[in-house]
Structure 1
């Protein structure tokens, strides 16, 4: 009976692991499918554990046992292929900046989803004072956060402040000049994004986007349609830019998802984590359940000085700090992602689906 219970338990775990690997391959945008995009590291570890325990403890002579073992092995390989680019042994997508790069070419950003109800404001204040970023981007910030950080944000003369009570507030503070600050509500009337231009110390203007779409969870959106569409809409806008570009924010999507991959291909932006590490920013409260939700992407005009996940600030997200170096003469040292016709068609479909979902939500809202 004991052996039978062990076998049944292992079969159940193995089946779950295989399904958790297979479901994200589907094109479905339902939340219960897309949720398995996130824990690839955890599924990879569980698949290895199940495989080892199955060989050690469970019978392997039946067809279903052999099938489960083969499927587990396929799951391990598939997850490893997705995870590998973010390990330090993989090639770096963004080259390291020259050690002697001029300081007037540098651009530093501190990005933090602060958790709106978090009252430990001093922790972020201390980090900001320590790192002194050129750009401070706050997500999930409200009027309380705006007032609490006033002692440090007074040294940031350029700003876009959007205090909201719905956990989608956004505050952008800059020590460098800004122009053409534009706040957009692309698909939701209460979900803002920011587009502006920031001037580097050497006079170069850089296009800057700040984003925070809704996640596909039952309490927010039952599908990922609007999130995916917002991400791709921003990518389309960037693709036509004649400026160097930086995009930062909480995408509510992991770095290795198809949507984020599509974002890179359509926009042509680079991910500085590739070849350096995961930099898991969420969930700060649960060490074994963490993945990279907060991102900074940039055009080939930049190389990387440094990137760092910062200490806990009592939010469910860790802040992330990045320092870039503007290196336009060497931009061709880095390979820009490209979108073929099929990718562009996929992007157009996602945008259309997101707009239809937004229109449906608007109609339902009016009828209530």
Structure 2
């Protein structure tokens, strides 16, 4: 029992702090993901330590101290995604009083990583028909998905379609007019991203970025450098925009990781989940291994009307539906995340390293 508890505690303590090692290798970066699971495991370990009667065993004091430190640290990382934290994106509450304004200035976005080998195309079309989003972005789409979704093209006349057979295809559909549409390969020649401007019914143009960088994993890429560099490039560009900005997609990174927080500080964008919940979208089939990989970030110009995780459609990801109201508040400019410490130098080094290699 002593050995089992020591091994268990050692694993939890290592997993809790391994992500602080500033190396890009996948076997380090994967520890960015399971902080909720590690928090639960830490609480279980502490309970077992007390129940097993080891509370007076000073020789094993490192076990409760380490587990408590890990639990506290995981809780600190997760805390912003609980109702205990003030929201970053305020809710627009004057919907009934300003119905015409809402209709002219709102934008509803559905983003879904559908899993390329998934054959539940009718269920995805059903979600589109049910929720009638203004923008639909489908990730991991190949030609089979493009063909299956052709029926929605009548409703979505504005499109940027890049089906690929490498699990990184992107299909972008919009009811709203678009301009300056660009299909870009920022870092890797086979990993696309989207930039376009979408016009709200009121006439306001919104800068929209769709992203899906490659994750660090034993089956995808041995390091996170390319993913991090793509997010850095999008974040730096987004901050330079004077108009409203939305960045959406599967970032293949969790909300609380160093890279995603760096992206927020570089871009100055807000996360609507902060103060509301995790909205964990992956893995859809295993509730005990689930974390937030699919993101929608917005500039200070927006307030939230609705945010919802939709039912699974045969994928390993849950779709996300978000509705925002263009309601700029100049006072919120002061609340934007700002670069700190060596953020700018780190961002430059990530991009240079990715491009050199």
- Bin for the TM-score computed over the shorter chain: over 0.9
- Alpha-carbon offset, residue 36 of structure 1: 0.8
* Distance of 2:330 and 2:185 partners within structure 1: 36
Map of 1:109 onto structure 2: 109
Range 328-337 or range 299-308, more displaced: 328-337
Give the direction of change, closer, same or farther, for the CA distance of 1:66–1:227 in structure 2 (3 Å limit). Answer: same
Map of 1:59 onto structure 2: 54
- Alpha-carbon offset, residue 98 of structure 1: 2.8
CA contact (8 A) 1:312 1:319 kept: yes
CA contact (8 A) 1:10 1:58 kept: no
CA contact (8 A) 2:300 2:329 kept: no
Map of 1:81 onto structure 2: 76
* Distance of 2:320 and 2:327 partners within structure 1: 22
Question: In structure 2, the residue corresponding to 1:271 is in which secondary structure?
Answer: coil
Matched, 1:230 2:230: yes
Deviations 1:144-167 (A, max 9, x none): 111111112321000000010000
Map of 2:155 onto structure 1: 155
Deviations 1:229-279 (A, max 9, x none): 111111011111122100000000000000000000000000000000000
CA contact (8 A) 1:94 1:334 kept: no
- Alpha-carbon offset, residue 192 of structure 1: 0.2
Map of 2:5 onto structure 1: 10
Q: Give the counterpart of 2:32 among 37, 43, 47.
A: 37
Deviations 1:109-134 (A, max 9, x none): 00000011111111111111111000
Is there any run of 5+ residues in structure 1 with no aligned partner, and where?
A: 1-5, 360-368
Map of 1:145 onto structure 2: 145
CA contact (8 A) 1:300 1:334 kept: no
Map of 1:214 onto structure 2: 214
Q: Give the counterpart of 1:96 among 91, 95, 102.
A: 91
Map of 1:167 onto structure 2: 167
Question: In structure 1, the residue corresponding to 2:335 is in which secondary structure?
Answer: coil
Question: In structure 2, the residue corresponding to 1:279 is in which secondary structure?
Answer: coil
* Distance of 1:203 and 1:16 partners within structure 2: 55
CA contact (8 A) 1:176 1:198 kept: yes
CA contact (8 A) 1:281 1:292 kept: yes
CA contact (8 A) 1:301 1:331 kept: no
Q: Normalising by the residue count of structure 1, what TM-score does the alignment of the two structures yield?
A: 0.93
CA contact (8 A) 2:109 2:135 kept: yes
Range 51-60 or range 136-145, more displaced: 51-60
- Alpha-carbon offset, residue 75 of structure 1: 0.4
Deviations 1:190-217 (A, max 9, x none): 0000001000110000100000000000
RMSD of the alignment, in Å? 1.3
* Distance of 2:202 and 2:182 partners within structure 1: 24
- Alpha-carbon offset, residue 341 of structure 1: 5.3
Map of 2:119 onto structure 1: 119
Q: Normalising by the residue count of structure 2, what TM-score does the alignment of the two structures yield?
A: 0.96
Matched, 1:46 2:41: yes
Is there any run of 5+ residues in structure 2 with no aligned partner, and where?
A: none
Range 251-260 or range 54-63, more displaced: 54-63
- Alpha-carbon offset, residue 63 of structure 1: 4.8
Deviations 1:12-44 (A, max 9, x none): 111000000110111111111110111110000
Question: In structure 2, the residue corresponding to 1:328 is in which secondary structure?
Answer: coil
- Alpha-carbon offset, residue 170 of structure 1: 0.1
* Distance of 1:267 and 1:72 partners within structure 2: 35
Range 144-153 or range 244-253, more displaced: 144-153
* Distance of 1:215 and 1:327 partners within structure 2: 34
- Alpha-carbon offset, residue 9 of structure 1: 1.2
